[in-house]
Amino acid sequence: MLCCNKNVPQKNNHFVYHTSAGDFIEVKPLAINTCENSPLHKYDPRFDWQNKYCEENYWAGAIKMCQSQSLRLPTMKELSQIMNEQYKTNKDNEYGDYPDLKINRQIMSNGYSYWSDEAGGYDYAFARYFSDTSSYCIYGLVNDSGIRTICRY
């Protein structure tokens, strides 16, 4: 989720990202010092300090960062649309796993996953993984610092 390219973000297809594929906006997690006073309830609708663990939450940090720029995380359907453009496919299941693809146009960096705005269980959110030859729906643990962020207008 760390941005390697500090150039001005480009607007393309209503998404904000840097000119090199995969070099997206830096996201910091919402750090938890005391659960009771956590800001997580504003960004993670499932958070309940009495019933849930208290860890750094990169998914909530991604939501906060996008909202601070009047943007939002994409839906799984929108990530699926990016996948269809990158691999020149027409897959209609945004939660589907597609192991046999060929890159048509590099949009997302290979070997990385990108957060969606969709919560899963109490400790994960949906994301989409992109590689040279495949794309998968994943359940990203909210404390996973390796999932990248792209924001949507």
Of the given ranges (38-52, 66-80, 115-129), which has the lowest mean pLDDT? 38-52
Residue that has been written with the tokens 């720029």 in this structure = 69
Could you tell me the pTM of the whole model? 0.76
124 sits in which H/E element: strand 124-130
Strand partners, 54: none
Mean pLDDT of 125-136: 94
What pLDDT is attached to residue 22?
41
Distance CA(84)–CA(101), nearest Å, equals: 10
Q: What is the pLDDT of residue 2?
A: 26
Task: Give dist(CA 58, CA 119) in Å, integer.
Answer: 13
User: In which domain, by residue range, is 99 found?
Assistant: 10-32+41-152
- CA dist 24 and 49 (Å) reads 30
Whether 46 maps to a domain, the answer reads yes
The pair phi, psi for residue 16, each rounded to 5°, is -110, 125
User: Phi-psi category of 111—alpha, beta or left, where left has phi over 0 and alpha has psi -120 to 50?
Assistant: left
Hey, is 110 helix, strand or coil?
coil
With respect to residue 115, please indicate whether it lies within any of the assigned structural domains. yes
**56 occurs within a structural domain:** yes
Q: Is residue 3 part of a domain?
A: no
Number of domains making up the chain: 1
Please check whether residue 1 lies inside any domain of the structure: no
- 144 found inside a domain: yes
Q: What's the mean per-residue pLDDT of the chain?
A: 75
Question: What percent of the chain clears pLDDT 70, i.e. is strictly above it?
Answer: 65
Tell me, yes or no, whether 5 lies in a domain. Answer: no
Query: Worst-scoring range by mean pLDDT, 5-14, 42-51, 108-117?
Result: 5-14
Q: Examine residue 2 and state whether it is found in any structural domain, yes or no.
A: no
